[in-house]
Amino acid sequence: MLLVVDVGNTNTVLGLYRGKSLANHWRLTSGNHTSDELGLAVLNLFLNAGIRKGEVDGAIVASVVPPMDLALREAIEVYLGVDPLFVTTGLDLGVEVLYRAPHEVGADRLVNAVAGVEAYGAPLVIVDFGTAITLDVVSKEKAYLGGAIAPGMAVSMEALFGKTARLPKVSLTAPASVIGKTTMESIQSGIMYGTAGLIDTLVRRIWAELGGTTRVVATGGQAESVCRYTETIETVDPWLTLEGLRLIFERNSGRTAE
């Protein structure tokens, strides 16, 4: 089995693949953990799912939190007995990276591009809803061009609440009307419909620069809740990043995890 790990600023998502099928997945909180804490947490997840650690014979990690990298590497090596592969631009990704400074591209953005091209072809725009909202663009020649980064919805709400003592915290759901009738509805309208509008504006500007429309695929925690209010997102693929990790592992190891 193959362990895939997507380390984000807020959450760390783990998945286990049997061949090409995602058999299990979990979500942990990212943060300052020791290798022992991480290793024991993974083993406990495996135990609850009836999985023996000896079944895992490969691991790959996409991380945008460098302070976690060493502890996570040690946890996988010590507790699973596997040498993990970390995603960088030095790997064979199967897509050309045309970012001006390739080493600055987040590993998750590259992984999404790889999975997006494999599943949906090119050209393509991928929207990832996480701590930040990222839009990544792949050309018709299947080259990663770059994209845009905006604050995620949770970050936007935290900034709003931090500066306005009287505003209540609200859930990330859209009210029935853009014109909110209460303070809670007004905040929800601004966050949900505002985010949808931001996505549509950026996508249309990207299309204008490309000289034509593309398919738009969304992934990430809030993708499902926001996409219904956008006019440009066609598809939601919640496991796009994990699938990209599997593809990169196979491309660089020459094998498929059993």
Does 96-243 match 2-86 at the fold level? yes
**6 tagged catalytic:** no
User: What is the domain partition of the chain in residue ranges?
Assistant: 2-86, 96-243
Write out the DSSP string of the chain.
-EEEEEE-SSEEEEEEEETTEEEEEEEEE-SS--HHHHHHHHHHHHHHTT--GGG--EEEEEES-HHHHHHHHHHHHHHH---PEEP-TTS--SSEE--SSGGGS-HHHHHHHHHHHHHH-SSEEEEEESSEEEEEEE-TTSEEEEEEEEE-HHHHHHHHHHH-TTSPP--S---SSSS-SSHHHHHHHHHHHHHHHHHHHHHHHHHHHHTS--EEEEEETTHHHHHTT-SS--EE-TTHHHHHHHHHHHHHHSS---
Q: What is the CATH number of domain 96-243?
A: 3.30.420.40
User: What global pTM score does this model have?
Assistant: 0.90
Out of 69, 83, 108, 200, pick the active-site residue. Answer: 108
Instruction: Tell me which CATH homologous superfamily contains domain 2-86.
Output: ATPase, nucleotide binding domain (3.30.420.40)
Return per-residue pLDDT of the chain as tens, 258 residues.
999 999 998 889 999 999 999 999 999 988 889 999 999 999 999 999 999 988 999 999 999 999 999 999 999 999 999 999 999 999 999 999 999 999 999 999 999 999 999 999 999 999 999 989 999 999 999 999 999 999 998 888 888 777 665 666 677 788 899 999 998 899 889 999 999 999 999 999 999 999 999 999 999 988 998 999 999 999 999 999 999 999 999 999 876 555
